[in-house]
Structure 1
Amino acid sequence: MRSASDDLTSRARIRDAAIAAFARDGFDATSMRTIAAQAGVSAALIVHHFGDKNALRTQCDDYVVSVFIDEEHDLIAAPTSDRIRTALHDLEHYGPYIDYLSRMLVDGSPAADRLFDSLLASTRGVLDEQRAAGMLEPMSDPEMTTLLVTLIGLGPVVMRAQIARALGADQLRPEGLVRTTLPILELLTHGIYSTTALLDGARDALAAEGNASEGDAS
């Protein structure tokens, strides 16, 4: 008979094999038989522990989310706001979780929404602290700026393969991080335009549109 500890070990092994397979090949292209082979178990044991493939995916989603946003999760010993950064510094160990995260955010799921909302809140907290410290320029729409900064941070995760092809290096590895650090900070600190012409034009156009809408409403 299997002991309870054997069941827990098998369950974790199946989950980790599924995370790696889903991250590598995608959910639709991954079979239960493939996961079973990689986990060194039978497909029947997967069904015993998780039910069908959809239920297994839900368990994987929840686990990966817990890795990155749950303070009490013991896999990454770091505050929520630093967990992805911590994982990026050890891609050999956390690479499958990062790649799985990428697919989650693109495919969409309740767990992915929970993760994105947590990352957005974390970014908002950092910007609020920086604003209180006098580090930020005035913003026309702080919440939209928070969203854009969050997207900049997630871009290398979601578009990892495309960015690696363009750069000739994986941006999430040390050489890629070194190359992108200064340009990202330059963009956030100075912007890219040496003139305010485009910004002024956009403000004027939006103000004129707002005035026209008010006129129509009256």
Structure 2
Amino acid sequence: MSEDLTARARIRDAAIKLFSERGIDGASIRDIAAEAGVSSGLLRHHFGSKEALRQACDEYARDRMFALGRELVDEVGLENISLASIQPVSFPLQTYMARSMMDGSETAVALFLQTVEYGAEWAKTHGVVTDDYRAWSAVIAVMKLGVFVLRDLLELALGEDIASPTGYARMTRAFVDIFSQPLLTPEQADNLRKD
């Protein structure tokens, strides 16, 4: 954790870490305060309650993920991205948002639905072949989130921690391999699309 973060930001980052690891119910105010290196009273001063802290974490993660997406796609360009540069920022947020969605956060669910809308629009403008852009985008989003939900099994199969730079890169390269080549022949795809 960076020493130059404000107490509020340290609390938020500690909450994101513990909520990701333990879920909302499993992370106490006392545990979060200890992780942030502050008192429970200071945490309550900044956020009031655990639910308000959760809302602040959801909003921060949502806003940071959208900003990161714009940075990577619009400003840097996918062709110029280094996995090593995005892993430390994106992995904790992706893990947190997946956990928050599982815990029923309205903000996280809204983020998922916004992501689906964005993906459907992207697919329409980038030549994706489908009769149902929303379904295409929703399935892709769930597939990508699934690696965080089933993280233990993925790590067991890979034999490494996907939170590590090498594990994250390996997982991401697998996604790239999957998304960059067809798995079906055109004839098989046409047959499977039939009602």
TM-score, with structure 2 as normaliser: 0.76
Q: Secondary structure at the match of 1:30?
A: coil
Deviation at 1:115, TM superposition (A): 0.9
Q: Tell me the amino acid that sits aligned with residue 181 of structure 1.
A: V
* Matched residue type, 2:192: L
Deviations 1:183-209 (A, max 9, x none): 3433xx343797469637x62xxxxxx
Q: Offset at 1:64?
A: 0.8
1:121-200 equivalences under 5 Å are 121-131=117-127, 136-137=128-129, 139-170=130-161, 173-186=168-181, 189-191=182-184, 195=188, 199=192
Which residue number corresponds to residue 67 of structure 1? 64
Choose between structure 1 and 2 for higher RCO, CA contacts under 8 A separated by at least 6 residues: 2
| Unmatched segments (≥5 aa) in structure 1 | 1-7, 204-218
Which letter maps to 1:79? R
Paired with 2:187 and 2:35, the residues of 1 have a C-alpha distance of: 54
- Indicate if the aligned counterparts of 1:61 and 1:104 stay in contact, CA closer than 8 A: yes
For residues 192 and 102 of structure 1, the distance between their equivalents in structure 2, rounded to whole angstroms, comes to 33
CA distance in structure 2 between the partners assigned to 1:18 and 1:142 by the alignment = 35
Aligned Cα root-mean-square deviation (Å): 3.1
Question: Relative to 1, partners in 2 of residues 1:146 and 1:114: Cα closer, same or farther, differing over 3 Å?
Answer: same
Structure having the higher Rg = 1
Pair 1:44-2:46 in alignment: no
| Residue deviations 1:99-143 (CA, integer Å, cap 9, x gap) | 211201222211112211221122112211123xxxx33x34333
The size of the alignment, in residue pairs, is 181
Quick one: which amino acid aligns to residue 180 of structure 2? L
Q: Is the CA contact 1:123–1:146 (under 8 Å) kept in the aligned structure 2?
A: yes
Contact 1:19-1:60 at 8 Å conserved across structures: yes
In structure 2, relative to structure 1, the CA distance for the partners of 1:10 and 1:101 (3 Å cut) is same
- Does the CA-based 8 Å contact 1:170-1:176 persist in structure 2? no
Q: Does 1:12 align with 2:9?
A: yes
TM-score, length-normalised on structure 1?
A: 0.69
Mapped partners of 2:7, 2:138: distance in 1: 40
1:109 equivalent to 2:105? Answer yes
Q: Relative to 1, partners in 2 of residues 1:142 and 1:55: Cα closer, same or farther, differing over 3 Å?
A: closer
Rounded Cα–Cα distance in structure 1 between residues aligned with 2:123 and 2:180: 14
Structure 1 segments of 4+ aligned residues over 6 angstroms from their partners: 85-88
Cα gap change, 1:176 to 1:28, in 2 (>3 Å):
same
